[in-house]
Structure 1
Amino acid sequence: MSMNGGGVEQPGGRMTLTDLVRQETVGRMSAAEKFAAAREMRLYFQRPEQPGFLVSQTEAGPLVALFTSVEGLALFAGACAWASTTVADIMELLPDGVRALVDPLGERPFLLNVEALREVETTEDRNPRNDGGLGVDQS
């Protein structure tokens, strides 16, 4: 079960020390620091036969499934060819109009709003002191 702030509730309702430290550290980061950390986050995906991303056509439009761990990818796709890259690379490589769903079978799946991340990066380039958002859509 998930606790507020991303901590993991252990048996007996306790949070691990690692989770507590992570939660406190993230809570003290500026938006710019969170953005920089997010850009370096590694995500895993099922590798198609041709270079690129395996894009699924959904009722809501084209979508790529990304995962925060190889285990999450395996749970979703089974044994498969896979690759990984950073969010920064995904921002550059993901085609316009294709949305990224992170951890679709996890406890807290979310849409990675690549367009918003690109806008924040552009704003950061123009004004390095800007505290832009992370581009995460929790809807």
Structure 2
Amino acid sequence: MSRSERLAALRSARLYFQRPDEPGFFVCETEEGPVVPVFTSWEALGLFAGPCAWASTTVEDLVELLPEGVRALVDPLGPRAFVLNAEALETTDTQGERDGGA
């Protein structure tokens, strides 16, 4: 799979998060700055938050919806937790051409 194909698959991946009463996200303050915990499955969300109202969206939409300066922390309790790097998901036609894509 090419880099552009991997990025396209990642952008369309679904993430789950705890849904607050008002539209938006639950933001957690950390030493590294504000983050929104998101999960690759609703089961992982349940282990983190317990029974709760939840919502899901694609990675691409999440990156657009997050407030400026807030990052997404994916699977914070999992063995491979990571901060979602929104800049790495951005690609342009010229990047695709440089990478050998269409």
Could you state the TM-score of these two structures normalised by the residue count of structure 1? 0.66
CA offset at residue 51 of structure 1?
1.0
Q: How many aligned positions are there? A: 99
Which digits, 9 at most, give the CA deviation of each residue in 1:72-110, with x for residues without a partner?
A: 000000000000000010121111211111001112111
- So what's the TM-score if we normalise by structure 2? 0.89
2:39 is aligned to 67
* Contact map agreement 1:32 1:130 (CA 8 A) in 2: no
Q: What residue number does 1:78 align with?
A: 50
Matched to 2:97, the amino acid is R
Bigger RCO (CA 8 Å, 6+ sep): 2
Gaps of 5+ in 1: 1-28, 132-139
Q: Identity rate of aligned residues, in percent?
A: 64
Give runs of ≥4 in structure 1 deviating > 6 Å.
none
Equivalent position amino acid for 2:30 in 1 = T
Change (3 A) 1:89 1:41: same
> Which residue is 1:24 aligned to?
none
Larger radius of gyration: 1
The 2-side partners of 1:42 and 1:66 are apart by 10
- Structure 2: 5+ residue runs without aligned partners? none
